[in-house]
Structure 1
Amino acid sequence: MKVRILAIGDVVGKPGRSIIVNRIGEYCRKELVDCVIANGENLAGGSGLMPSEADELFRAGVHVITGGDHIWGKKEIIPYIDRTPGLIRPANYPPDQPGKGYTVIETPSGAKVGVIHLQGRVFMNTHCDCPFVAAKKIVAELRQKTNVIAVDMHCEATSEKVAMGWWLDGHASFVFGTHTHIQTADERILPQGTAYITDCGMTGPYESVIGRRVDRVLHRFTTGMPAHFEVATGDVRLCGALATIDSGSGRAIEVKRVVILEDGTVK
């Protein structure tokens, strides 16, 4: 059996949420997508997420939302995450934090998909344990339930994401990066069968600086003065990557970049 997993890059504010609501159902029906994973750390005005916004994505057809380093940006998410198995925080955060860093979902076809969320440490301010150690431990645990495992590696450094791809080659089915908001063109299947892409990109406004109004960001860069980085509005796109996995072996068959425009055009 083939399992198709769509990984959606960082969803920024209302524009990002809206394009998912309006376009994800049609795309998933056409492409026979079994599992949708979205990074949601920027759902609430560009930083953090609220329960109502997470619910909006779940209703639209997203199965798992990963949190990233802004997971605790809104206090309302703390009680919500404990009762919502589809919302996961980085697995290498301290174990006493609310929520979990991985989950297993069952697709309509009956296939099970394990999803792990990790956060890198290079150039990141949040204190967390080694993602490489956490990854191998959790993959071994999930392998008792399913061979199909997807990993969101949320970090700043390209090198750390690439290293995780090699670390999990042959252990995870699909390793994809999030956080930088810039989609990379390096999607490939690694030698032992793991689909990989360094960053899925951003789901939100592209007439922007990684989702924020251009004028506000330029003001900050050119004057050095504080500025409120409001979410931009123009040229909204959904960006991500689609991986096809053999459920028996857990090995990837195909991986490709995805860009969906506001009018539904798929690039």
Structure 2
Amino acid sequence: MKILFLGDVMGRAGRRAITERLPKLRAEWKLDFVVVNAENSTSGMGLNRAHAKLLLDAGADCLTLGDHAFDQKEMLTFIEQEPRIIRPLNYANTPAPGKGARMFTAQNGRKVFVAQALGQVFMKKPFADPFSALDAALKSAPRGGMADAVIVDFHAEVTSEKMGMGHWLDGRASLVVGTHTHVPTSDTMILPKGTAFQSDAGMCGDYHSVIGMEKTEPLRRFVTGMVKERFTPANGEATLSGVYVETDDRTGAATKVIPVRNGGQLAQSGPT
């Protein structure tokens, strides 16, 4: 199976890049399944109904969220109506709207299980243990059993926790990929038991920025320690950043993994 995972979509620039380029990439790379992290799609803070539909219509099979999952209040109800959107398993200590893991059917009929969890280290509020949450979720859909492929989006701050999760799930997931920090890491690899891994997928946004935001206000805060204005997403040409994975249809193990950087400021990378 050929799978594409794209990192955090950042504002209008990210949405524009998805709508303009994803349909072409699906055709050129013969993609079977596409996951897009969409938690910064609406003004850099959350995802609304209209932008969710835009990304799904452009070719995303599943949208994941993150710590900003419900910053746009309409997502509290829309996520219950749209099964192609999932939020982190461990988002809250009480039941939250929507699901944190779900089985999907790819266009070729194969089953793809997608799960998401939030990290604990340096996050703004204490989330429940993501390792236990993903343990329980993946037991319901074993790789190479009920699921032809298993994709885990680990939305976390620090690379050590993300790498720990990769090793924790090695042999149980087809892909473990980090999101949240908006900067693609260069540790793309297949772990010993067949799990593709990258600490962070990066963002789908304008990299002539400070992690997707116009530079002026972040730089002012770094220098003065004072807040003057709200952060505003940068709106130049976006780079689509993520990971391309091919899996063995029999076992669900990754057989190939390639970092994706398409368009925009960054050095280009992707399947030939």
The whole-number CA distance in structure 1 between the counterparts of 2:139 and 2:64 is 20
Distance (whole Å) between structure 2 residues aligned to residue 220 and residue 98 of structure 1: 35
1 CA distance for matches of 2:167 and 2:78? 34
Partner residue, 2:251? 249
Does the aligned pair in 2 maintain the 1:51–1:76 contact within 8 Å?
yes
* Cα deviations by residue, 1:224-243 (Å, 9 ceiling, x for unpaired): 11131111122311110001
Q: Quick one: distance in 1 between partners of 2:171 and 2:13?
A: 36
Paired letter, 2:218:
V
Structure 2 match to 1:77: 75
Q: Distance in 1 between matches of 2:7 and 2:150?
A: 18
Residues 133 and 88 (structure 1 numbering): CA distance in 2 closer, same or farther, change over 3 Å? same
Q: 1: distance between equivalents of 2:230 and 2:111? A: 43
TM-aligned CA deviation for residue 259 of structure 1: 0.8
Q: Which residue of 2 aligns with 1:153?
A: 154
> 1:146 Cα shift?
1.1
Per-residue deviation, residues 120-178 of structure 1 (Å, max 9, x unmatched) = 00000233211111111111101262141000000001100000000000011110000
1:1-267 correspondence to structure 2 within 5 Å: 3-93=1-91, 94-143=93-142, 145-226=146-227, 227-261=229-263, 267=269
Post-superposition offset of 1:206: 1.0
Q: Tell me the percent identity.
A: 40
| Stretch of structure 1 that moved more, 170-179 or 137-146 | 137-146
Q: Counterpart of 1:207 in structure 2: which amino acid?
A: H
Structure 1 length-normalised TM: 0.96
Give the AA of the match of 1:6: L
Equivalent residue letter for 1:128: F
Contact kept in structure 1, 2:110 and 2:148, CA below 8 Å: no
Contact map agreement 1:107 1:113 (CA 8 A) in 2 = yes
Aligned-partner SS, 2:185: coil
Residue 73 of structure 1 aligns to which amino acid in structure 2? D
1:169 partner letter: D
Give every structure 1 segment of 4 or more consecutive aligned residues whose post-TM-superposition deviation is greater than 4 Å. Answer: none
TM normalised by structure 2 equals: 0.94
1:95 positional shift: 5.0
Q: Secondary structure at the match of 2:53?
A: helix
**Contact 2:33–2:106 (Cα < 8 Å) also in 1:** yes
Task: Give how far 1:247 is off.
Answer: 2.1
Q: Cα RMSD between the aligned structures?
A: 1.5
The answer to which of 160-169 and 139-148 deviates more is 139-148
State the SS of the aligned residue for 1:69. coil
1:213-264 deviation digits (Å, cap 9, x = unpaired): 111211111111113111112231111000111121011000010011159x
**CA–CA separation in structure 2 for the residues paired with 1:135 and 1:97:** 16
SS at match of 2:3: strand
Q: How many residues align?
A: 264
Distance in 2 between residues matched to 1:254 and 1:12, nearest whole Å: 27
The residue type equivalent to 1:178 in the other structure is T
